[in-house]
Structure 1
Amino acid sequence: MGMSIPQYLGQMDIRKGVVGLATGAGFIYLLYKAIRAGIKCQPPLYTASPICIARLAVERERHGRDSGELRRLLNSLEHKQDEYAKSMILHSITRCVYLLEAEASSCTTDDISLVGSMLDDKDNSVKIQALNTLKAFSGIRKFRLKIQVQAIRLLSYLAQKNDLLYDILNCQVHSNFLNLFQSTQPGSLLFEVLVFAERLSEGRNSPHYRAVRWHYNEQSLHEALFGDESRLADRLLALVIHPEEEVQIQACRVIVSLQCSQDVGVRPSSCRPSHSYFNSGE
């Protein structure tokens, strides 16, 4: 059975949130100018705040000392809260990160992990607020890599859903998207983007997906990875000799998946012919 309309709209909001997170602060090319960057919040529910964060920001600028508000909010997030309270707290944390940047910079990767754990919450509004908070934290350089692995992992999960696969593949990406597959990237990030590529390739191989002739825009993620002009094959071959074994193995898994897609005839007009991939003569 398919999802109900409210469930589908919830998934749409979460996907837009992931897209917004992935493009936030210019720290990653993933899904650049995608479906629509940004997160749909619910202002009537979350505009109220027990402390005026803007006033705290002014006072900090004037007196040069931490307000302690961001730490208080993060500590309160660790305690068991209902969905409404968690959403309110996350919304306030997001405002603090933007307005109290110096205090946000003193946070730790454990704080980022705590916010990231909210992505597993059963309530969609909590997930969306968590994505909004992570997007705010992504503006701080030291947290970008940590947040990238989380964003791509969530995209990999969404890519396994049949009703979201086309939307993800048709998202617009930056022309430098394949830089994510360069061997100079951290091994942990490379592994996650390779898993993401494999999940997308497997999705294209499924009977459900092959039953329809899909059309993609020229700047889509599909074209970047599987199109006629894609250089993914070159990047994958270079990663087969990567010093980290898990990256080597995952690169090989993507290569096998791509070859399988050609063997079963997944060759829409925008896909590369089989001789273009991994041909030893090229």
Structure 2
Amino acid sequence: MSCICQRPGQMDIRRGVVGLATGAGAVYLLYKAIKAGIKCQPPFCSASPICIARECPRPGERAWPQEVPIPQVSGVGGAQGDSSTFLSCLAIERERHGRDSGELRRLLNSLECKQDAYTKSMILHSITRCVYLLESEASTCTNDDITLVGSMLDDKDNSVKIQALNTLKAFSGIRKFRLKIQEHAIKVLELISTIWDSELHIAGLRLLNNFPLPDFVHPQLRRVMPALMEILQSDYILAQVQAIRLLSTLAQKNDLLYDILNCHVHSNFLNLFQSTQPGSLLFEVLVFAERLSEGRSSPHYRAVKWHYNEQSLHEALFGDDSRLADRLLALVIHPEEDVQIQACKVIVSLQCPQDVGIRPSCPPSHSCFNNGE
């Protein structure tokens, strides 16, 4: 009987111990979560000017995808970086109180002096950060400052060219400088087509994708089209994405569409449509294919009988022996919804010409999806 009386007490003790252990475990897990969050904060403001400035690679660094954290720089480079960050913070604080820090003007003035390649690269990198972070000071700059930065594109050192391209891109976010920066478009296209450097390709293409290209650069675009197509077929995803974005924009220009479609491509070009490709690249490639399909189906383009070489982009995508249809059907079940939707859009654009609205029905075409497929 005594044993029976003791059981409720023992059960209460056990419940208390279990509750205490559970509570302690929960507190410990919460502590671990907070500690991990402090050590590794996600980029909540990836679109903010500060985050954009942090993404700009320093001289000697490679451009890293947004998913990959930029490694810390130690030694002399780290000291330079810490100093630059400290000065930027001071400049931001002064601007917040309505005072011109003068930091951007000092950097531009120092760029005019004779400097070695590394120093020029560091100055340009700091200017880029200041343009993103100190918008009011950047707006007070002049076209002469843009010309000064543009002159760095003629430097012999590639790292200086890359940093100058990054700086021009930063300034291109300010509307009043866009016309002046457009004057350097031909030079940027020349650099992209004559120097095989992935970092330079990324910096140059990002700049070109940041503003509408004027008509006077179209002749130069025709000359560099093979180089753009080679970058697209390279193995460096960041450069590929930037190249395909530019080509997608150019595909909407009537006077450039044939030059794109007749451009020589590798025999394995359709590998870009494989489901194993990164989703970001696949999506851009599908947008490119849709715009090409719409362009070649437009009444303006179909009014002329065009001839294409056997190894052209047109034959790879829309030729009688093209396997594009198989690739598109495989992408309809891709894990990423954006890719699925874009693949369906390409299929629809291949089925019917763009002027279907003024016709009673879609006429027969050479699409691989006809005949019940």
| TM-score, normalised relative to structure 2 | 0.47
Please report how far the alpha carbon of residue 134 of structure 1 lies from its aligned counterpart in structure 2 after TM superposition: 5.9
- The answer (yes or no) to whether the contact 1:119–1:130 under 8 Å persists in 2 is no
- The answer (yes or no) to whether the contact 2:265–2:313 under 8 Å persists in 1 is yes
Please report how far the alpha carbon of residue 50 of structure 1 lies from its aligned counterpart in structure 2 after TM superposition: 6.1
Between the aligned partners of 1:115 and 1:278, the Cα distance in structure 2 is: 48
- 2:61 maps to what in 1? none
Between the aligned partners of 1:118 and 1:213, the Cα distance in structure 2 is: 43
- 1:139 maps to what in 2? 198
Please report how far the alpha carbon of residue 51 of structure 1 lies from its aligned counterpart in structure 2 after TM superposition: 4.7
Between the aligned partners of 2:293 and 2:142, the Cα distance in structure 1 is: 39
1:128 equivalenced with 2:191 (yes/no): no
1:71 and 1:246, CA in 2 relative to 1: closer, same or farther beyond 3 A?
same
CA RMSD of aligned residues (A): 3.6
Please report how far the alpha carbon of residue 90 of structure 1 lies from its aligned counterpart in structure 2 after TM superposition: 3.4
Please report how far the alpha carbon of residue 278 of structure 1 lies from its aligned counterpart in structure 2 after TM superposition: 6.4
- 2:342 maps to what in 1? 250
Unpaired segments ≥5 residues, structure 2: 1-111, 132-137, 203-235, 355-360
| TM-score, normalised relative to structure 1 | 0.60
1:96 equivalenced with 2:154 (yes/no): no
Please report how far the alpha carbon of residue 147 of structure 1 lies from its aligned counterpart in structure 2 after TM superposition: 2.7
| Aligned pairs (5 A) from 1:139-218 | 139-140=198-199, 144-218=236-310
1:99 and 1:157, CA in 2 relative to 1: closer, same or farther beyond 3 A?
closer
The letter of the residue matching 1:257 is S
Between the aligned partners of 1:279 and 1:266, the Cα distance in structure 2 is: 10
- 2:121 maps to what in 1? 70
- The answer (yes or no) to whether the contact 1:134–1:147 under 8 Å persists in 2 is no
- The answer (yes or no) to whether the contact 1:116–1:150 under 8 Å persists in 2 is no
The letter of the residue matching 1:139 is S
Provide Cα deviations, 1:59-110, integer angstroms capped at 9, x if missing partner. Answer: xxxxxxxx33322123335454525334213343xx432699xxx7xx8xxx
Which fold has the larger relative contact order, with Cα–Cα distance below 8 Å and residues 6 or more apart in sequence? 1
Please report how far the alpha carbon of residue 210 of structure 1 lies from its aligned counterpart in structure 2 after TM superposition: 1.1
- The answer (yes or no) to whether the contact 1:197–1:254 under 8 Å persists in 2 is yes
Unpaired segments ≥5 residues, structure 1: 1-48, 57-66, 268-272
1:164 and 1:245, CA in 2 relative to 1: closer, same or farther beyond 3 A?
same
Between the aligned partners of 2:296 and 2:171, the Cα distance in structure 1 is: 30
Please report how far the alpha carbon of residue 261 of structure 1 lies from its aligned counterpart in structure 2 after TM superposition: 3.5
- 1:40 maps to what in 2? none
The letter of the residue matching 1:75 is S
- Tell me the matched-pair count: 205
Please report how far the alpha carbon of residue 148 of structure 1 lies from its aligned counterpart in structure 2 after TM superposition: 2.1
Between the aligned partners of 1:134 and 1:114, the Cα distance in structure 2 is: 17
Structure with higher Rg: it is: 2
Q: Relative to structure 2, which stretch is displaced further, 132-141 or 149-158? A: 132-141
Please report how far the alpha carbon of residue 113 of structure 1 lies from its aligned counterpart in structure 2 after TM superposition: 6.4
The letter of the residue matching 2:343 is A
